[in-house]
Amino acid sequence: MPVTQWFTDVVPPRAQRDAPLLVNGAPVELGVLDDEVEAVLDCTGGWFATQRWRGIHLDRLLGAAPAGARSIDVISTTGYRRRFPVEQAGELLLATSAGGQPLSPGHGAPRRLVAPGRRGFWWVKWVAAIEVVEDPPWRQPPFPLQ
């Protein structure tokens, strides 16, 4: 599986990648990472790869969405972000491994989003924060502008 980034996104320094995950502003431990999904990473650059991804589904990580929640923002240590409908939390996986191996830094280690059925630019690498928000999922550019 090739290593690619969206536009100017580059692998962040190790200290930045290894920072604790923030969920709604609070640091969390991931706990048991036993969810698996086979998904096709379809890169906008013209290649695709089918992998078995392992991690935790966002619905298990986030729990019940608060009243008024409409979206989930997934934010990289680089500032790159994508927004998803809160109803899709059970389809989204925060992955720590692919193909039975831990993710490499170029593939988003220590954690990346797996968004089955979506193009590669939706698969946020180096996930630093996940926030449940009231904004609608469409309130973002159709393609990342960064």
Total domains in the fold of the chain: 1
Look at residue 5 and tell me if it is in a domain. no
The CATH number of whichever domain residue 104 belongs to comes to 3.90.420.10
Look at residue 6 and tell me if it is in a domain. no
Which residue range forms the structural domain that includes residue 67?
Answer: 14-133
In tens, the pLDDT along 119-128 reads 888 999 999 9
Look at residue 76 and tell me if it is in a domain. yes
Look at residue 127 and tell me if it is in a domain. yes
Confidence class of residue 109 from pLDDT cuts 50, 70 and 90?
very high
Look at residue 95 and tell me if it is in a domain. yes
Look at residue 30 and tell me if it is in a domain. yes
> Cα–chain-centroid distance for residue 27?
16
In tens, the pLDDT along 16-57 reads 888 999 999 999 988 778 999 999 998 877 778 899 999 999
Place of tokens 């930045």: 16
Look at residue 143 and tell me if it is in a domain. no
From the number of C-beta atoms within 10 Å of its C-beta (0-12, 13-18, 19+), residue 124 rates as buried
Look at residue 140 and tell me if it is in a domain. no
Residue 145: per-residue pLDDT: 62
In tens, the pLDDT along 66-97 reads 899 999 999 999 888 999 999 999 999 999 99
Q: Where are the beta strands (DSSP E) in 1-125?
A: 21-23, 26-28, 35-42, 48-57, 71-76, 81-85, 93-98, 101-102, 112-114
